[in-house]
Structure 1
Amino acid sequence: MNAHQRPWDAALTDTVHGQAVSGRPERDPTHPVDSTWRLSLHALAQQGLTSSTTLLRVLSCWSSAPVPMSLLSTHAMQDGLCGKLDPPLNAGGVEPALRGLQDHSLVSLVSLVATEGGQEARPSITTHEVVLKGVWAAAPEDQRPRLVMAAAQLLGRNLPDQWDAGASYLVGLMVPHAAALLERISDAETALSVVEVATRLAGYAFEGGDYHASLHLAEAAAHAAENWLGRDDQATLRAKHHTAMGLFRLGRFEESERVHRQVLNIRQRVLGPEHPETLESQQDIHEPLAQLQRPHEAVHALRVTEEVRSRLLGDLHPATLHTRALLIEYLATTDDAEAFQRLGPATVAACEEIVGIGSATTVTAHHNYAFGLFHFGRLEEAEPVARMAVEGRENLHGANHPLALSAAVLLSWVLRGLGALTEAANLARRVVDRQELSLGAEHPYVLVNRTELASTLAMAGAAAEAKELARHNLPLCDRVLGADHPATVETRRLIE
């Protein structure tokens, strides 16, 4: 039992697992719940359980997806806004309220188990969608803003102070509830609370590699924020920044650049060119610029960010080092070998010394330096750095995270150049398989990596498999990348 868990938390966990083992029948989803929930709440109130009504109203702010029990834990409820609702719902009242709802089949307890990562079972609550809609519609209008604020606070208290890989599963469970809560906003005050929580959650989903969920939530938060708070509000701009980041990761580069540019322009006007959030936009716009074949503009964006951060924060400040770690890649793609050699090794060494070898900034520096060495044909030097990048990405994010797969495919390119074709092909095949699942079969990165896999197979003597893969890939490359894209040209060559 952890420090934030009440005795009944553990008891309910046992109940959940007991139901799963015993095979207790689930409530029939076609049960006429819409006509009975009022009677049930009335009966519970007659028993003195008026807090059951408040708990069900709070649940009605969220979606019908499973609600992690931790949202109602002592840590989340203690001295919170739920205690100021009418009737009040305090930490000590959650257990009897929840048991009352369960006894009347208004909620069910389920045990969710992650399919990957080995997380333990997570006890959760489900409520019929018809009940949730009916309860929300019947909630007094003057209480709805307070209910929304309380539900937002419960979500926010379950978010970690900073992202880590272990939080990804819980974050995924909370995304649909934040999305539903955005639709409950009725004024500017509730908008600010809900948008801030939803935007943080979108950021954590992004860090965890769930770019589809991140983009969906960020777009919804941006829409709500612009509607209630205004186009220039910082909460709106933060949500739009996350939208631009999600668009980029999903291969929608033109849209990403457009949203980044809009946010950057407003931040420069409202916050000033040297504000930390302006610099965040100035830095991150480099990504779509590079993918839109404008690498010199990407270098310029990073150079501007690096200069301001170095002047304001210091040459070796972690934020300055992170920008410099990003810059390494584009010094290579713009063929600035002299600047690459001057900046690359020095930045890697500084990152290792100041922020630590396992930090995200240092891993990024290893990744981009390995790419530069590969780009300039220095394959023997690139291999150990690329292997270090793969290890670092997998330790930080997990082996199937998109950034870990990006490092793995870079290593496969290096190995192919060194003649280690079997290992290169195995790595590339795993990357393409996983990227198809996470990014989609027609994502630009997947198309390029599928072409590279076909090339590796052809070099390894598997001509038939290479041609079959190239034939599958060619129409997609033509349509998504264009006939003159290097991957399309190489795919066509493999077929011919």
Structure 2
Amino acid sequence: LAVIYRAQGNVKLAEILAAKVFASLQEKIGAEHSYTLSAGSSLASTWNELGRLKEAEELLDQLISVKVGKFGPEHPSTIETTAVLAAVYYNQKRFADAESLQTYILQVRERTLDSEHGFTWTSKLNLAAIYTQQHRIKEAEDIELQVVDFRKERYGLKHELTLTALSNLAMTFRSQKKWAEEEKALSQVVLGRIEVLGPEHPNTLTSIQALANNFLSQQLPQKAEPLLRKMVEARSRRSDYGPAHPSTLASRNSLAWTYFDQGKHVEAESMQLQTIAEGQKFLGESH
């Protein structure tokens, strides 16, 4: 059930359930049972998504230590949990540590699975994302283009794995100010995710925000405005965001500047006042 909640974008509900399952399994069958270790990895993944990175790292270190002793360092379960730790390092901006782990994971998967296995391609994509953050743009783009082509052929354009690869490629285009290429990739991602995940799924909303940012970078506020309006409305409605969530406030602020850039000063002022009012509710008046 926790997996379903995560797939639906309800990460907070997934975390509550995963924590209960992990605690229950520890008590009933022991901390080193394979079911317990799997539940722990799920909980750590959820913490990673929620930004509870220190807690995720500490739990993953414990799980990996047990799995290495129980299964060996190259067992698929051990490697899977190591991949979550690499993702935590990435979110902590510890890119050298993340690269070291992802390179190791890729080498193991190429040797034990196959160079064409789906997990191997996932490792390549993760490594490319790290390269982008390290400003190794050419290396990142080359890998991402390969992953996109592979996943399009194997899964089709509108599969979430393909859309994820396209989204990563768009980020690499953005780092090079390749606005037209980024716009084309993001447009495909937005349309695909609306169809596959729904218009208000967090991944869809993130893609819409990225496309709006692309239009703003191209000095096209008239194209960004309707996307940002959708963002504000959708995030205000969602229980895991709400009108005072930092992401909603950021979208409101961007929308206000979009109004201003088009000479819509009344709308801009109104939106900024709403943003300030909601921000004070969430952050306090002294923030």
| TM-score normalised by structure 2 residue count | 0.85
Q: 1:303 to 1:391 in 2, by over 3 A?
A: farther
**In the alignment, which of 406, 415, 422 is matched to residue 222 of structure 2?**
422
Opposite residue 273 of structure 2, the aligned amino acid is E
- 1:274–1:308 CA contact under 8 A, matched in 2: yes
More helix by share: 2
Deviations along 1:130-170, one digit per CA (max 9) or x if unpaired, are: xxxxxxxxxxxxxxxxxxxxxxxxxxxxxxxxxxxxxxxxx
Distance (whole Å) between structure 2 residues aligned to residue 469 and residue 262 of structure 1: 45
Name the structure 2 match of 1:394.
194
Query: Secondary structure, in 3 states, of the residue corresponding to 1:383?
Result: helix
1:330: how far off?
3.0
User: Within 1, Cα distance between the matches of 2:132 and 2:274?
Assistant: 30
Contact 1:250 1:439 survives alignment (8 Å): no
Q: Which residue of 1 aligns with 2:273?
A: 468
Over 3 Å counting, the alpha-carbon distance change for 1:467 and 1:400 in structure 2 is: closer
Q: Which AA in structure 2 matches 1:245? A: S
Q: Does 1:359 align with 2:159?
A: yes
Residue correspondence of structure 1 range 57-136 to structure 2 within 5 A: none
Output aligned runs, 1:53-452, within 5 Å.
201-436=1-236, 437-441=238-242, 445-446=247-248, 448-452=250-254
- How far, CA to CA, are the matches of 1:466 and 1:263 in structure 2? 47
Cα distance in structure 2, aligned partners of 1:368 and 1:473: 32
* Conservation of the 8 A alpha-carbon contact between 1:409 and 1:431: yes
Spell out, residue by residue over 1:66-118, the C-alpha distance to the aligned partner (whole angstroms, 9 max, x if none): xxxxxxxxxxxxxxxxxxxxxxxxxxxxxxxxxxxxxxxxxxxxxxxxxxxxx
* Corresponding letter in the other structure for 1:340: A
Contact (CA 8 Å) 2:245, 2:282: kept in 1 or not? no
CA change 1:310–1:299 in 2 (3 A) is: same
- Provide Cα deviations, 1:233-261, integer angstroms capped at 9, x if missing partner: 11112112221222233343333333333
Q: Secondary structure at the match of 2:205?
A: helix
User: Given residue 439 of structure 1, which amino acid in structure 2 is its aligned partner?
Assistant: D
- Report how far residue 384 of structure 1 moved: 0.9
Following TM superposition, by how much is the alpha carbon of 1:206 offset from its aligned partner in structure 2, in angstroms?
1.1
- After superposition, the C-alpha distances for 1:409-429 in whole angstroms (9 at most, x for unaligned) are 111111111222133132123
Conserved 8 A contact 2:241-2:247? no
CA contact (8 A) 1:328 1:343 kept: yes
Letter of the aligned partner of 2:241 in structure 1? Answer: G
Letter in 2 for 1:283: A
- Cα distance, 1:303–1:418 mapped onto 2, change above 3 Å: same
The number of residues matched between the two structures is 280
Contact 2:106 2:124 in 1 (8 A): yes
CA root-mean-square deviation? 2.7
Structure 1 residue 376 displacement after superposition: 2.1
TM-score (norm 1): 0.51
Identity of aligned residues (%): 23
Deviation at 1:275, TM superposition (A): 1.5
Indicate if the aligned counterparts of 1:222 and 1:239 stay in contact, CA closer than 8 A.
Answer: yes
Question: Structure 1, residues 165-206: CA drift from partner, whole Å, max 9, x if none?
Answer: xxxxxxxxxxxxxxxxxxxxxxxxxxxxxxxxxxxx211221
Which runs of 5 or more residues in structure 2 are unaligned? none
Q: 1:353 Cα deviation (Å)?
A: 2.0
Tell me: CA distance 1:396–1:235, structure 2 relative to 1, closer, same or farther (3 Å): same
Bigger radius of gyration:
1
